[in-house]
């Protein structure tokens, strides 16, 4: 999967909520996940398909049910991609803090 697929999947609040539920509550059937949303089951299934296609969830069949579980590897790849930007902004905030401290010292 590409980062574009992951970012597209994460763009939806409903899909982010599905990931949160799977992270906090573990693997569960699609029906139980769908019951948590104010949308049709086919709509929830479509969101789960997008997450599956992006590699963010895995699906297993148990009888007639489809169970979903979180797959964190694509999120780790995104985290790795974002790390340099986090360092960039951290440095900018440190520079701003230093500037404000210098201004405060000049006023004293």
Q: What is the pLDDT of residues 1-56, one digit of tens each?
A: 678 899 999 999 999 999 999 999 999 999 999 999 999 999 999 999 999 999 99
Q: What phi and psi, each to the nearest 5 degrees, are found at residue 37?
A: -120, 150
Over range 77-103, report the average pLDDT: 88
Q: How far apart are CA 84 and CA 80, in angstroms?
A: 8
The pLDDT, as a whole number, for residue 81 is 87
The pLDDT, as a whole number, for residue 61 is 94
- Residue pair 28/44 in contact by the 8 Å Cβ criterion: no
Say how many residues make up the chain: 108
pTM of the prediction? 0.78
Domains of the chain, by residue range, sit at 1-71, 73-108
Q: Is 57 exposed, middle or buried (0-12, 13-18, 19+ CB in 10 A)?
A: buried
pLDDT at 67 over 90: yes
Out of 2.60.40.10, 1.10.10.10, 3.30.200.20, 1.25.40.80, select the CATH number for domain 1-71.
Answer: 1.10.10.10
């Amino acid at each position: 999967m590409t980062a574009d697929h992951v970012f597209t999947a994460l763009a939806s609040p409903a899909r982010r909520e599905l990931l949160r539920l799977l992270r906090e509550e573990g693997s569960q059937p699609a029906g139980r996940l769908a019951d948590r949303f104010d949308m049709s089951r086919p709509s929830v299934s479509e969101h789960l398909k997008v997450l599956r296609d992006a590699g963010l969830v895995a699906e297993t069949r148990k009888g007639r049910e489809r169970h979903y579980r979180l797959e964190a590897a694509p999120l780790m790849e995104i985290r790795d991609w974002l790390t340099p930007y986090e360092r960039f902004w951290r440095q900018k905030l440190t520079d701003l803090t230093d500037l404000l401290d210098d201004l405060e010292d000049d006023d004293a």
